[in-house]
Amino acid sequence: MNSADFTSGDAQKHKTLQIQVFVHCVHCGVMVFMVGSSAMQTTELSLTSFGLALDTSEHTFGELRDSSDIAHNDAALRQRMAEDGYCFLRNYLDKGQVHAARIEIIRRLVEQELLDLNYPAIDAITNPTPRTGKNHEALSKNNRSLHELLYTGRMIALYERLLGGPVRHFDFTWFRAVPGGGQGIYPHCDIVYMGRGTFNLFTAWTPIGDVPLELGGLMILEGSHRQADRLRSYLSRDVDRYCTNYPDAGEIESGSKQWQDWDGRLSSSAATLCEKLGGRWLTTNFEAGDVLTFGMATVHASLDNHTNRFRLSSDSRYQLASDPVDERWIGEDPIAHGPAGKKGKVC
Ligand SMILES: O=C(O)CCC(=O)C(=O)O
């Protein structure tokens, strides 16, 4: 199946499609989606990341380990994080809360005229002719149901267990609304974007609704957190540093240009990086209620969206309250990667 096949069809048909991924078929080299409707079509889709084909054979691609059986065991959870560089907790969050957060995001997407309202809004079908670009910040800012999901209750309890003390979160919430046909992100580690406080910091990647493979979820490069020696110079970089003596320094300082020569990527190609560093790209069919948490040196990327729906997910960050915090991501109106977050030097 190509993405055009999947994205065509009327709403009712779309709603009744059931997509099952046969993980054993990753052995065939091509990820096979069985798309079942009353007509029982069987079609195929190759997975891509950042526009490039991904080798989904078993030595380079696999399933995330589910740690939900140890979600409430502090020692086991920390041990798992040390071992794997991530913990994937299936069905850990309250599905009702995830749904409430989704409804509010949907309401804001409708307000921004980004959904095709010939279909039920909750399905988040992308408006093929949007009049405006989307405003990520407007999706997450002052979004009480999203913030309750991410910054109270089970989520905070998880980080108290992982960190062993009172926790604070970044005030900035990254919200990803990847439109139908949109690209995922290139391989990177988070520390290059948020390393001015502590390294003892975790990301929570939270699907706001189901995110099956074809919608483009997150992937972790297996064992990559143990490659810190090889990645030492990458991991010590700060994406907001710039050279004041370069011709475009003024544009960085005014905010008209975000990056001088580097956007934090470790590589543009998930497949090539996997060959170089070893390990498999691990992912899953994410469901509402799942959370995937990982550390600052864990290499990750995301799959492209091969549907006509928005992929909705957030990433949020947690650390010990007593540790220093990166000034870019806190406060009422975090400075983020804007001009106030840049650090210049003569190169
Ligand atoms: O959701 C994505 O596509 C990227 C998320 C990410 O890079 C992160 O959570 O650090």
Domain span at 166: 57-101+142-345
Counting the structural domains of the chain, the total is 1
Say if 257 falls within a structural domain: yes
Instruction: Tell me how far apart the alpha carbons of residues 105 and 100 are, in angstroms, rounded to a whole number.
Output: 9
Q: Is 40 part of a structural domain of the chain?
A: no
Does the residue 12 lie in any domain? Answer: no
Q: Name which residue leads in pLDDT, 166 or 41.
A: 166
In a domain, residue 309? The reply is: yes
In a domain, 323, yes or no: yes
Dump pLDDT digits (tens) for 271-309.
999 999 999 999 999 999 999 999 999 999 999 999 999
Residue 125 lies in a domain: no
What are the pocket residues of ligand 1 if the criterion is a CB atom closer than 6 Å to any ligand atom? 176, 184-185, 190, 203, 205, 218, 300, 302, 313, 315
CA 175 to chain CA centroid, Å, is: 9
Q: Is 307 exposed, middle or buried (0-12, 13-18, 19+ CB in 10 A)?
A: buried
pLDDT of 70 > 90? The answer is yes
* pLDDT over 80 at 113, yes or no: yes
| pLDDT-based confidence at residue 31 (cuts at 50, 70, 90) | very low
Res. 44 pLDDT band, cuts 50 70 90: low
- Report pTM: 0.89
| CATH at 65 | 2.60.120.620
Residue 231 is assigned to a structural domain of this protein: yes
Of 190, 211, 258, which Cα lies nearest the Cα of 98?
211
Residue 221: name the closest of 286, 300, 310 by CA: 300
Gap between the terminal Cα atoms of the chain: 50
Q: What is the pLDDT of residue 344?
A: 97
* Mean of the per-residue pLDDT values of the chain: 88
Give the position, in ligand 1's atom list, of the atom nearest the Cα of 184: 3
Q: For the segment 148-184, what is each residue's pLDDT rounded down to a tens digit? A: 999 999 999 999 999 999 999 999 999 999 999 999 9
Integer CA distances (angstroms), 202 to 46, 109, 152, 234, in order:
31, 28, 16, 18
> Looking at the domain assignment, is residue 300 inside a domain?
yes
Tell me the best of 203, 211, 265, 305 to mutate to test the pocket of ligand 1, counting ligand atoms within 8 Å of each CB and taking the most. Answer: 203
